[in-house]
Amino acid sequence: MFEDYIPFFIQLAIASGLSLTLLKGGELLGPSRPNRIKIMPYESGMDPVGSARQRYSIKFYLVAMIFIVFDVEIVFLYPWAISFQDFLAAGVGLEVLGIVIVFIVILAIGLIYDIKKGGLEFD
Amino acid sequence: MGLPWYWTAIIAFAIINFLLISASVLVYAERKVSAAMQNRPGPNRVGPAGFLQPFADVAKLLLKENIVPAMANPFVHSLAPFLMVAIAMTAGALIPFARGVVIADTDMGVLVLLALTSITVYGVTLAGWSSNSKYSLLGGLRASAQMISYELSMGLAVLSVVLMSGTFNLVDIVEGQSGGMAVLGWNFFKNPIGALLFIVTAFAETNRTPFDLPEAEQELVGGYHTEYSGMKFGMFFLAEYVNFFVASFFIVTLFFGGFLVPFEPAMISIFPSLDGSILLGAMQIGTVLLKAGFFAYLFIWVRWTLPRFKYNQLMTLGWKYLLPIALVNVVVIAIIMTVMQYL
């Protein structure tokens, strides 16, 4: 089972090696003459005002939280999707389909509730 | 996989080089296509018809200074482009180029693919956060919000394919599309809505126009890579092109028959010696490259044709249209499968 993934990790290692080479190559070959103006963060030519690590809109947090909920629910659908043909062959397809439709309807109600509450309004 | 590990390593190295070269060809193609669409010559000085322009650009980027802004986190500032390139190149291991020519023929290929696309979000977010610039932070936040929103629809579009094929193995998914007349077995014809959803979400996941809000230069300067220069910027650029090329391969693999040559069974029945020969393998590689090349061209074509979405339009499209459509698509496919079983 694990042997199947060895080629994948070989590719990951070579890709990381390439990535590291590009990163270090750029650092070694390029000049390095920093000065105060050069390392100033870009802010349309002005001196930067305050820190960039500021508070930002709560909507991004909301999107992330809703994403987690739906992503986990979609993950639950994967085991069903891969074995649905086996269920059909075993003759219990209709029951399994009914259960999954109930699950998806609950998920959809959650999405409709969220849209109605304005959790996804970006204006 | 019966090959010894060093052969795998050599093939993996070859595929990474292939992706590198195709990225430079795509950069050239993008500049030439956009030039043709805007009625100007495009790059034409370096090499024949400007073909060596991307290589000159890489040399230039390598020799430029790597500026790390004040107060930035230097480790994370380097980690972000590293992740982007490493993940983009690793996804190439999952592409079936021909029957038996795939590096990682795992039974969980689809899950690995989804996992890799999720890691790209980290690269973008970390790049935006680590630069200590307001434009970068906003660009990174927008990108991560956009990518996770569209990941749901992408997951459901892939789910509809898994539902029909009953496997997570990408090679088996391709082989499962071999039925029907020539091209009619492709998942695109069985599941057109899923295919369109996957193509749209692939544009959004790779941050290409019309979904390139993270780098909307009129409002966010360069977005999450505002503060990147030299080769680190080049790495984001490289990752973008490799990402959309790899995405074209996955569109082809999941929905357009992957390496299957049209009329392949008919040809084998006429020329039995073709089965398993190197010629057939070459034809399969040619087919998959042709199909993926078409979708790579589509990515470029769309970029120079459509304007960019507004941010609220983007979120509305992702959550209020694509996600419900994807859910309904999955349910409809499951119902059709059940009905066909009981007929």
Average pLDDT over residues A16-34: 85
Predicted pLDDT of residue A36 = 80
Does B10 reach chain A within 8 Å, measured CB to CB?
no
Residue A121 lies in a domain: no
Residue A49 lies in a domain: no
Rounded Cα–Cα distance for residues A6 and A21 (Å): 22
Reading phi first (left if > 0) and then psi (alpha if -120 to 50, else beta), residue B143 is in alpha
In a mutational test of the B interface, the residue from A74, A84, A96 whose CB has the highest number of chain B CBs within 10 Å is A74
B10-39 pLDDT, tens digit per residue, is 888 888 888 888 888 898 888 888 888 888
Do A111 and A68 lie in one domain? The reply is yes
Residue A81 lies in a domain: yes
Predicted pLDDT of residue A90 = 83
Average pLDDT over residues B172-201: 83
Do A71 and A32 lie in one domain? The reply is no
Q: Residue A82 pLDDT more than 70?
A: yes
Rounded Cα–Cα distance for residues A38 and B256 (Å): 49
Residue B171: name the closest of B89, B253, B266 by CA.
Answer: B253
Q: What is the DSSP letter of B183?
A: T
Predicted pLDDT of residue B217 = 67
Collapsing DSSP to helix, strand or coil, B305 comes out as coil
Q: Which residue in this structure is represented by tokens 């960039």?
A: A52
Q: Residue A1 pLDDT more than 70?
A: no
Does A118 reach chain B within 8 Å, measured CB to CB?
no
Q: How many CB atoms within 10 Å of residue A61? A: 11
Q: Residue B197 pLDDT more than 80?
A: yes
CA B122 from chain centre, in angstroms, equals 17
Average pLDDT over residues B163-178: 85
The pTM score is 0.89
* B335: nearest CA partner in chain A: A97
Q: B16 vs A78: CB contact, 8 Å cut-off?
A: no
Of all residues in chain B, the percent with pLDDT exceeding 70 is 96
Residue A50 lies in a domain: no
Do A67 and A101 lie in one domain? The reply is yes
Residues 6+ apart with CB under 8 A from B178: B185, B257, B260, B264, B265
Contact list, B151 vs chain A (CB under 8 Å): 67, 71
Rounded Cα–Cα distance for residues A76 and B118 (Å): 17
Does A27 reach chain B within 8 Å, measured CB to CB?
yes
Do A108 and A65 lie in one domain? The reply is yes
Which residues form the domain of A107? 58-116
Do A112 and A64 lie in one domain? The reply is yes
Do A78 and A32 lie in one domain? The reply is no
Average pLDDT over residues A111-118: 84
Q: A11 vs B103: CB contact, 8 Å cut-off?
A: yes
Binned at pLDDT 50, 70 and 90, residue B198 comes out as very high
Residue A48 lies in a domain: no
* A70: nearest CA partner in chain B: B152
> 43-72 in B: which are within 8 Å (CB) of A?
61-72
Which residues form the domain of B75? 5-341
> 62-81 in A: which are within 8 Å (CB) of B?
63-64, 67, 70-71, 74, 77-78, 81
Collapsing DSSP to helix, strand or coil, B156 comes out as helix
B204-226 pLDDT, tens digit per residue, is 888 887 887 767 666 677 678 87
> In the predicted model, what is the mean pLDDT of chain A?
82
Residue A21 lies in a domain: yes
Q: Residue A108 pLDDT more than 70?
A: yes
Predicted pLDDT of residue B104 = 78
Collapsing DSSP to helix, strand or coil, A122 comes out as coil
Residue with the bigger pLDDT between A122 and A8: it is: A8
Of all residues in chain B, the percent with pLDDT exceeding 90 is 4
B252-262 pLDDT, tens digit per residue, is 988 888 888 87
Predicted pLDDT of residue B182 = 66
In a mutational test of the A interface, the residue from B6, B90, B311, B333 whose CB has the highest number of chain A CBs within 10 Å is B90
* B60: nearest CA partner in chain A: A30
B337 contacts B164 by C-beta, under 8 angstroms: yes
DSSP state string for B93-104? GG---BTTB-S-
Q: Counting every residue, how long is chain B?
A: 343
B35-92 pLDDT, tens digit per residue, is 888 888 888 888 788 888 888 888 888 888 888 887 778 888 888 889 989 998 888 8
Q: B155 vs A74: CB contact, 8 Å cut-off?
A: yes
